[in-house]
Amino acid sequence: MNQAPVSCIPNSKMSRPKKVIDEAKEIQNPELDLADKGIASFEEMPGLFNMLNITRLTLSHNKIQVVPPGLANLVNLEILNLFNNQIEELPTSLSSMPKLRILNVGMNRLGVLPRGFGTFPMLEVLDLTYNNLDESTLPGNFFMMETLRALYLGDNDFEFLPAEVGQLKNLQILVLRENDLVELPKEVGDLSRLRELHIQGNRLTVLPPEIGNLDLVSSKSVLKMENNPWVTPIADQLQVGVSHVMDYIRTETYRYVYNRHVSADRPPPPKTNDKSKKISRARQQS
Q: Which position among 1, 52, 235, 262 is part of the footprint of other proteins (CB under 8 A)? A: 1
Only segment of 68-76, 92-100, 207-215, 272-280 that touches other proteins (CB under 8 A):
272-280
Task: Check residue 167 for interaction with other proteins (CB under 8 A).
Answer: no
- Could you give the count of Cα atoms lying within 13 Å of 163 in the half-sphere of its Cβ? 3
Instruction: Write the DSSP assignment of 97-140 as a string of letters.
Output: -TT--EEE--SS--S---TTGGG-SS--EEE--SS---GGGS-T
- Could you say whether residue 144 binds other proteins (CB under 8 A)? no
Q: Assess contact for 210 and 188: CB atoms under 8 A.
A: yes
Stretch that binds other proteins, among 68-76, 131-139, 216-224, 255-263 (CB under 8 A): 216-224
How far is Cα 173 from Cα 178, in angstroms, rounded to an integer? 16
Element (H, E) at 285: helix 282-285
238 touches other proteins (CB under 8 A)? no
HSE-CB for 67 with a 13 A CA cutoff: 27
37, 109, 198, 203: which one contacts other proteins (CB under 8 A)?
198
143 binds other proteins (CB under 8 A): no
Size of the site for other proteins (CB under 8 A): 48
Site string for other proteins, 35-54 (x = CB under 8 A): xx------------------
* Interface of this chain with other proteins, residues 249 to 268, rule: CB under 8 A: none
171 vs 177: CA distance, rounded Å: 16
Taking CB under 8 A as the criterion, which residues in 76-135 touch other proteins? Answer: 79, 81, 83-84, 101-102, 104, 106, 124, 127, 129-130
Sign of the Cα torsion 175, 32, 48, 98 reads negative
Which DSSP string corresponds to 134-170?
-GGGS-TTGGG-TT--EEE--SS--S---GGGGG-TT
273: buried, middle or exposed (CB in 10 Å: 19+, 13-18, 0-12)? middle
Q: Do 189 and 165 meet the contact criterion of CB atoms below 8 Å apart?
A: no
Among 175, 188, 191, 211, the residue binding other proteins under the rule CB under 8 A is: 175
Binding region for other proteins (CB under 8 A) out of 88-96, 111-119, 173-181, 243-251: 173-181
Q: Which residues form the interface with other proteins (CB under 8 A)?
A: 1-2, 4-5, 8, 11, 31, 33, 35-36, 56, 58, 60-61, 79, 81, 83-84, 101-102, 104, 106, 124, 127, 129-130, 149, 152, 154-155, 173, 175, 177-178, 195-196, 198, 200-201, 220-222, 224, 226-227, 277-279
